[in-house]
Amino acid sequence: METTVIGYPRIGNLRELKFASEKYFRNEISAAELEKTAREIRAYNLELQKKSGLDIIPSNDFSYYDGVLDTAFMLNAVPARYTELGLSELDIYFAAARGYQGTKGDVKALAMKKWFNTNYHYMVPEVDDETEIRLVGKKPTDLFREALEKGIRTKPVIIGAYTFLKLARYKGEKTAADFIDQTAAAYSELLDRFNGLGADWIQFDEPSLVMDMTSDDVKIFESLYEEILSSKGSVRVLLQTYFGDVRDCYKEICKLGFDGIGLDFVEGKKTLELVKENGFPDDKTLFAGVVNGKNIWRNNYASTLLILDELKKHSSQIVLNTSCSLLHVPCSLANETLLSESCRKHFAFAEEKLSEIEELRQILEAEYPLVTEAYRRNSALHSEPRSGRNDSVREKVSSLTEKDFVRLPEFAEREKIQKARFNLPLFPTTTIGSFPQTAEVKAARKALRTGEMSSDDYEKFIKEKIAECVTQQEGIGLDVLVHGEFERNDMVEYFGECLDGYIFTEKAWVQSYGTRCVKPPVIWGDISRARPMTVKWSVYAQSLTNKPMKGMLTGPVTILNWSFPREDISLKESALQIALAIREEVLDLEANGIGIIQVDEAALREKLPLRRSDWREDYLDWAIPAFRYVHSGVKAETQIHTHMCYSEFADIIRDIDNMDADVITFEASRSDLTILDVLKENNFRTEVGPGVYDIHSPRIPSKEEIIAAIRKMKERIPAEKLWINPDCGLKTRGNAETVPSLINLVNAAKEVRNENC
């Protein structure tokens, strides 16, 4: 039995790519030096995968920023505003990824969106009526050659034609269907090139197949691949799906001329059923995604063998595979020096998953699989009782009733009471919470960690930063202030550290977008609040100003979604346990005089099931109540804000209103403000702050630009419900761009306010 993986993390074992790229952005190293780091990462990954015994090793899973962006560049789908800048190829690429502001021009980045149900973000390709899709990029073939020179005949990984066309944003009259011929021709040419290079397998990633598909979608898919596969030569084509099952097109894909089909047996609720009911074509290889590419727990070999036993009845050619790219898990447990052995043995990161795949192969090939050493060790691990149980939390969760999820009085009455209490001007200005996490702040946290700074000195330092931040905001003229979140490494990890039931890693970074990585904490046991988490900072910050100071928390759904979740209890149970803890903090803040409390649900939409039919039952039916429970106990005059890091909630707009927050801020600037119409049509009740500028880019928005955005907002949203703020936290930005941006924001708000009065 052969083995493979869908893709390997590309940021480098110790985030080498991130650091090199950031140096490149700051002009500290040359393009050649950045390229050298990239080559070293690829060589390291290839070597590691080879050493682990993997038969089919991926290539082109490397990217300087994002794989979808790479595909757009490969296919000539790059808006002219970037190519016209007259920059080097690499810098045009980074301009599309990050925006560009300099001597050659001033352009915003492409839009960025969550990659299916993960916390990875891809760049949204833009296609207009003039776009001519054709194969122009050489990266896939270059990287194939690079590996070949090292003696490894890799499996190039390419975002598939259908997924590319589905993810692209169409700016003109034309739609995906109008680009079928061009796209198919480009992919056919790519196959030709790989034939010429002697590739054995090529993998087309088509995660869009696990979404709800209409019959037109299926037709587009068929048209594309009938054409692409019609002259494919000797290279074997693998259709790789992941993040779910392909129930809407299973029969159709089985009929097409693929040589292999990759299916996800971890997240695909119906995948096994599909194979059992319809069989699997004899002429194809089944790439069985049985090792979870998204979570960090050790595979349960007993359950995996059951799946494989079943599959063997339907296919004689099976390749062992991960369920999705390992991009979504950290690189290696070897980087963790502080984990206790009792925890560590339950984990498998990317590198360890390679060994799991190899072990599974050996078990399957053994004459008596169940008595192999590897199998026995694994089943002992899975039958061991785990620490971290908390019966009182479990009881509290099970005794919650309907009324625990309802805040009284109702929204409209609270709105009146709060307007009277805070007496804010029209279009109140605020920020989302964090202020720039400068090198100084990071250094202090590091010094605290290593013991070079005492906790008293650290506390003093953070308080100084808070004081500076308050003065800064008062100077800028913002209406509702924040303390700046300097004490936080990360909006989830920080809370995890104050909660019982969590454990942490040191270097377990996962790419979130571009050079940005996150280090999700691990939910190990039942969750409870060990101590107040933010009260001290918020109370101190409030003591420095007469303006309202927002308390700043992360909500239960986001904490859960940005952690590695348990697999032994349900997500709902975990969410409610966390909600219990955050609610205690909310009430604590309120009791300590904090009048406005923001509970960020940045990631609420992230784990929305990909198929609409699963939305309520599998997710919203517990996620929205978990949020409501967090704030249902506060007084009418306490204003609850929430924040979301995206604006695609048109389809769950009612649910979002139903979270019953008083104010919601969200990203809007990158998505052309289209959400505003939806808010209007739905009579959105919650007050809103659709971000007026994009903080993901270092460019400074002009006052005029912000005024234009506010005017647009004002046309759709009642003035008395409109807040003015950036579209997300400022922690990744520098002060150099933050201060002028916020000054422009405040001045823009004032100007529109004056027009209105």
Active site residues: 696
**Smallest distance, Zn ion to C-beta of residue 69, A:** 21
Residue from 109, 202, 432, 742 touching ligand GLN (CB under 6 A): that is 432
Helix or strand or coil: residue 278? helix
Amino acid sitting at position 707: I
Q: Which is nearer to ligand GLN, 491 or 623 (CB)?
A: 491
Binding mask 303-322 for ligand GLN (x = CB under 6 A): --------------------
- In this structure, which amino acid lies at residue 392? S
Least distance from ligand GLN to the Cβ atom of residue 497, Å: 16
Q: Cβ distance 206 to 240 under 8 Å?
A: yes
For residue 409, cis peptide bond before it (omega within 30 degrees of 0): yes
In sign, the C-alpha dihedral spanning 329, 334, 335, 340 is: positive
Interface with ligand GLN, residue 563, by CB under 6 A: no
- Alpha helices (H) along 487-620: 493-498, 535-543, 556-561, 571-591, 615
Amino acid code (one letter) for 518: V
Q: Which is nearer to ligand GLN, 562 or 564 (CB)?
A: 562
491 binds, among ligand GLN, Zn ion, none (CB under 5 to 8 A by kind): ligand GLN
Q: Would you give the binding string for ligand GLN spanning residues 466-485, x where CB under 6 A is met?
A: -------------------x
What tokens does 397 get? 């969760």
Tell me which stretch binds Zn ion (CB under 5 A): 6-14, 48-56, 440-448, 595-603. Answer: 595-603
d(CA 499, CA 582): 10
Minimum distance between the CB of residue 721 and ligand GLN, rounded to whole angstroms?
A: 21
705 Ramachandran zone, left/alpha/beta (phi>0; psi -120 to 50): alpha
Residue with tokens 């990071």: 442
Q: Which of 7, 289, 436, 729 binds ligand GLN (CB under 6 A)?
A: 729
Give the helix/strand (H/E) hosting 48.
helix 31-51
Closer to ligand GLN by Cβ: residue 512 or 545: 512
Enter the DSSP assignment of 620.
I
The nearest distance, CB 645 to ligand GLN, in angstroms, is 4
Site mask for Zn ion (CB under 5 A), range 615-654, x = bound: ------------------------------x---------
Whose tokens are 């939409």? That residue is: 605
Tokens in use for 502?
């969590």
- Closest to Zn ion by CB, 558 or 638: 558
Query: Which partner in Zn ion, ligand GLN, none is near 434 (CB below 5 to 8 A by kind)?
Result: ligand GLN
What are the C-alpha distances in Å from 55 to residues 52, 58, 286?
9, 10, 15
657 binding partner (options ligand GLN, Zn ion, none; Cβ < 5 to 8 Å by kind): none
* Using rule CB under 5 A, residue 602 touches Zn ion: yes
Residues that contact Zn ion, how many (by CB under 5 A): 3
Residue 589 binding partner per list Zn ion, ligand GLN, none, with a CB distance cut-off of 5 to 8 Å that depends on partner kind: none
C-beta of 728: minimal distance to Zn ion in Å?
A: 3
Say how far apart CA 682 and CA 717 lie, in whole Å: 11
Nearer to Zn ion, 457 or 672 (CB): 672
SS3 content of the chain, % helix, strand, coil (to 5): 45, 15, 40
Site for Zn ion in 142-161 (CB under 5 A): none
Shorter beta-carbon distance to ligand GLN: residue 54 or 599: 599
What 8-state DSSP symbol labels residue 618? Answer: I
Q: Provide the 8-state DSSP code for 705.
A: H
Crossing angle for the helix pair 571-591 and 621-631, nearest 10 degrees? 20
Of 267-275, 308-316, 370-378, 432-440, which segment contacts ligand GLN by CB under 6 A?
432-440
Residues 631, 696, 731, 733: which binds ligand GLN (CB under 6 A)?
731
588 scored as a contact of ligand GLN (CB under 6 A): no
Neighbour tally for 460: CB within 10 Å: 13
**Candidate residues 168, 191, 202, 728; the one interacting with Zn ion per rule CB under 5 A:** 728
Contact partner at residue 600 from ligand GLN, Zn ion, none, CB < 5 to 8 Å by partner kind: ligand GLN
* Binding characters for Zn ion, 214-243, by CB under 5 A (x = yes): ------------------------------
The Cα–Cα gap between 655 and 339 comes to 39
Q: Which does 731 bind (CB under 5 to 8 A by kind): ligand GLN, Zn ion, none?
A: ligand GLN
Half-sphere exposure at residue 413, Cβ-oriented, CA atoms within 13 angstroms: 6
Helix (H) or strand (E) holding 123: strand 121-123
* Amino acid (1-letter code) at residue 607: K
Cα atoms in the Cβ-side hemisphere of radius 13 Å centred on 301: 26
Q: Can you tell me the distance from the alpha carbon of 126 to that of 195, in angstroms, rounded to the nearest whole number?
A: 30
Site for ligand GLN in 595-654 (CB under 6 A): 600, 602, 643, 645
728 binds ligand GLN (CB under 6 A): yes
**Residues between 11 and 70 with contacts to ligand GLN, criterion CB under 6 A:** none
Site stretch for Zn ion (CB under 5 A), options 369-377, 393-401, 544-552, 599-607: 599-607
Q: Which CB atom, from 199 or from 745, has the smaller least distance to ligand GLN? A: 745
Closest CB 200 distance from ligand GLN, rounded Å: 42
Write b or e for each residue in 568-604: b if 16 or more Cβ atoms lie within 10 A of its Cβ, otherwise e.
eeebbbbbbbbbbbbbbbbbbbbeeebbbbbbbbbbb
Residues 6+ apart with CB under 8 A from 600: 432, 433, 491, 552, 553, 554, 555, 558, 642, 643, 644
Instruction: Decide: is 552 part of the binding site for ligand GLN (CB under 6 A).
Output: yes
Q: Which residues pair with 56 in a beta bridge?
A: 4
Interface ranges with Zn ion (CB under 5 A) = 602, 645, 728
Interface ranges with ligand GLN (CB under 6 A) = 432-434, 485, 491, 552, 600, 602, 643, 645, 728-729, 731
